[in-house]
Amino acid sequence: MGGPGRPPLLLLLPLGGFLLLLSLASLRLPDPPLSACLSGGRPCRWFGGTPAHKEGPEKLLLPPVPTPTKAHDAPQEAHEAPSAPPVCTPSLQGSGFRIQDMQSAFLASLTPDGEVLLQEYLQGWKELIKFMDSLGTAFGLISRETWSKISVLEQHRAGRHGSHYRSVQAMVAYELGRGLVDFGRSQPRPAARLPSGCRTLLRLHRALKWLELFLHKLGGGEGGEGSREASQMCAEAYQAALAPFHSWWVRQAASLAFLAMPSRQELLSNICANEGPRQARGVLRHTVRSIARVYNATQVVYAGRGMLDLP
**Digitized pLDDT (tens) for each residue of the chain, 311 residues in all:** 444 444 444 444 444 554 444 443 333 333 333 333 333 333 344 456 656 544 443 333 333 333 334 444 444 444 444 455 566 776 645 567 888 899 999 999 999 999 999 999 999 999 999 988 888 777 887 888 899 999 999 999 999 999 999 999 999 999 999 999 888 755 556 555 799 999 999 999 999 999 999 999 999 865 445 568 899 999 999 999 999 988 898 888 888 889 889 999 988 888 887 777 888 898 999 999 999 999 999 999 999 999 999 88
Residue-wise burial string across 141-178, b where 16 or more C-beta atoms lie within 10 A, e elsewhere = bbbebbebbbebbebbbeeeeeebbebbbbbbebbeee
3-class SS of residue 54: coil
Q: Can you name the residues that pair with 196 across neighbouring β-strands?
A: none
pTM: 0.74
3-class SS of residue 116: strand
The answer to whether the beta carbons of residues 171 and 164 sit under 8 Å apart is: yes
State residue 78's pLDDT score.
45
State residue 287's pLDDT score.
93
Tell me how far CA of residue 68 lies from CA of 62, 289, 296, in angstroms. Answer: 14, 19, 18
d(CA 35, CA 94): 29
User: 61, exposed or middle or buried, with CB in 10 Å at 0-12, 13-18, 19+?
Assistant: middle
Ranges of H-type helices in the chain: 8-28, 34-39, 99-109, 118-133, 140-158, 168-177, 197-218, 230-241, 248-259, 264-271, 277-304
Q: DSSP letter for 111, please.
A: -
d(CA 23, CA 12): 16
d(CA 176, CA 161): 14
Question: What residues does each domain of the chain span?
Answer: 43-52+67-304
State residue 139's pLDDT score.
82
Residues contacting 15, CB < 8 A, separation 6+: 137, 138, 256, 260
What is the length of the chain?
Answer: 311
Class of the CATH-defined domain 43-52+67-304 = mainly alpha
DSSP 3-28: -TTS-HHHHHHHHHHHHHHHHHHHHH
Give the amino acid at 154: E
State residue 216's pLDDT score.
95
d(CA 175, CA 181): 6
3-class SS of residue 260: coil
